[in-house]
Structure 1
């Protein structure tokens, strides 16, 4: 999964230190430098084609406007300007008395495919005297298509492919056909009916705070009995399913699936841990009724 790196005024942070109380500040008094605030940015290209801003920073404020040219580095880009994105201006102005401005870019949603991995590089054209050796005059922008989220796309029939279902415990079952519904009263939450075993529900919540990090969350819960895969009772007799904290579990609103790392474990009757069965991968894909009927005909 890719993480959004926002402009954090790296140059400014490196040259301004805070000592003691708020009023005791050591202010930068060196040369004036200009730079992109960071070297890489990730841009979620949405259906509404929002404008993305790439910040440019200065180490000092001056009493005049600074007009800077920006160019695209074609040999370091695989996204095509005018097809996949638009650079709204090839200049940027840091106004008098200010220390930052933004290069504005707009992605073209309809021309980007779901599986595309596209990016482009920009070069800030500034005098050599205003280039800081510690920071580059280049910035890379990576574009990721982000489809509108509709929780109802994650309801109905879904096909579960799991490394647990295809393990020796499950005698090479491999695939399971289940259904899901929206959980009323719980925001962005669905319930999967019978993820591994009939009669057991699994709630999954979609994290919508950051569209560049389409993560999911699941509380630890009972998903079956130890007697079902193992033929005998272990611990308190319940299989517990939890989401692995060591790997990233996520969803796709473009392709309507969940990719999840989970851990199966068993507790003792006193609540202590009896043992861990293992860590597995779930791929849960929402399918049409016609596809579901075909799976039913195949015995799923």
Structure 2
């Protein structure tokens, strides 16, 4: 249904472009429809309290202001209006000659828990003749709490659990490692993981902060250990065990809970750069903990 609407709008745009090259201006003359511009929106709620917009569109401009009512569909919502968010107005106006307006919403940061999965549904209250049956008059909004990013929250004591530690390729005896991390001095939003899998080897991990709703981590291929260190003294390929982040899976971080979930692939290469063999692809979970929690783990032998 969304594709149909996008196609109609695209046709209007194309007509407008070509009208500039022809003596007679071409205008959209189809039915008038009013609708949300999309059926699903995902918004990050920050402590700064930004207002976010839910666009409403019309297929035709009018020579008068059009005021539309907006209602919350309680049975399709688990976010509570007045507690988790505020609808700043239950009406919106598309001004004369215009094709769009916005429903304005403000999330309530302090009332949303770090792990909450909240959303609400809205409906435009409009005459039947202005409804596009194929597209509808409803939109769903997902609210996600976004805590401020501070690279220093990812420095200090870190617990590493990994599916590698339960695989046949792990020659260690523990299923968890306690490591330390530092902020890299020479690279923005990057930390150094000391002794990630094996003692004496550091790995750099970068946090991508471009989009608060897509908090991704990035990692270049790096030396994880020698194959001798990893495989009980055995030398394979050129002797280096390399770690990289596969693009087929999404690796991300949480600013609210101070953890990273990362997919990694371990490879060994030949001297000429060709692949000798792939050890496997694994999932790492990195969780930053307090000094007191770290001390308790050290006393347990980690």
Aligned to 1:18: 14
Task: Check the 8 A contact 1:17/1:26 in 2, yes or no.
Answer: no
Aligned to 1:6: none
Instruction: Quote the Cα distance in structure 2 between the aligned partners of 1:98 and 1:138.
Output: 21
Task: Check the 8 A contact 1:221/1:242 in 2, yes or no.
Answer: yes
DSSP-derived class of the 1:16 partner: helix
DSSP-derived class of the 1:203 partner: strand
Shift in Å, 1:14: 4.7
Instruction: Quote the Cα distance in structure 1 between the aligned partners of 2:268 and 2:175.
Output: 22
Aligned to 2:96: 96
Instruction: Quote the Cα distance in structure 2 between the aligned partners of 1:254 and 1:115.
Output: 8
Instruction: Quote the Cα distance in structure 1 between the aligned partners of 2:208 and 2:43.
Output: 18
DSSP-derived class of the 2:165 partner: coil
Instruction: Quote the Cα distance in structure 1 between the aligned partners of 2:152 and 2:103.
Output: 37
Aligned to 2:262: 260
Shift in Å, 1:27: 4.1
Instruction: Quote the Cα distance in structure 2 between the aligned partners of 1:88 and 1:170.
Output: 59
Task: Check the 8 A contact 1:227/1:233 in 2, yes or no.
Answer: yes
Aligned to 1:272: 274
Aligned to 1:202: 203
Shift in Å, 1:134: 2.5
DSSP-derived class of the 1:255 partner: coil
Moved over 6 A (4+): none
The answer to which structure has the higher helix fraction is 2
Aligned length: 292
Task: Check the 8 A contact 1:158/1:179 in 2, yes or no.
Answer: yes
Instruction: Quote the Cα distance in structure 2 between the aligned partners of 1:223 and 1:27.
Output: 62
Aligned to 1:119: 119
1:149/1:101 CA distance change after superposition, 3 Å: same
Instruction: Quote the Cα distance in structure 1 between the aligned partners of 2:278 and 2:197.
Output: 17
For structure 1, list consecutive stretches of 5 or more residues without a partner in the other structure: 1-8
Shift in Å, 1:49: 1.5
Shift in Å, 1:197: 1.1
Shift in Å, 1:10: 3.4
DSSP-derived class of the 1:223 partner: strand
Instruction: Quote the Cα distance in structure 2 between the aligned partners of 1:159 and 1:13.
Output: 51
How does the TM-score come out when normalised to structure 2? Answer: 0.92
Q: CA RMSD in A?
A: 1.8
Instruction: Quote the Cα distance in structure 2 between the aligned partners of 1:221 and 1:86.
Output: 47
How does the TM-score come out when normalised to structure 1? Answer: 0.93
DSSP-derived class of the 1:178 partner: strand
Is residue 184 of structure 2 the alignment partner of residue 188 of structure 1? Answer: no
Is residue 148 of structure 2 the alignment partner of residue 152 of structure 1? Answer: no
Task: Check the 8 A contact 1:215/1:251 in 2, yes or no.
Answer: yes
DSSP-derived class of the 2:177 partner: strand
Aligned to 2:106: 106
For structure 2, list consecutive stretches of 5 or more residues without a partner in the other structure: none
Instruction: Quote the Cα distance in structure 1 between the aligned partners of 2:286 and 2:263.
Output: 11
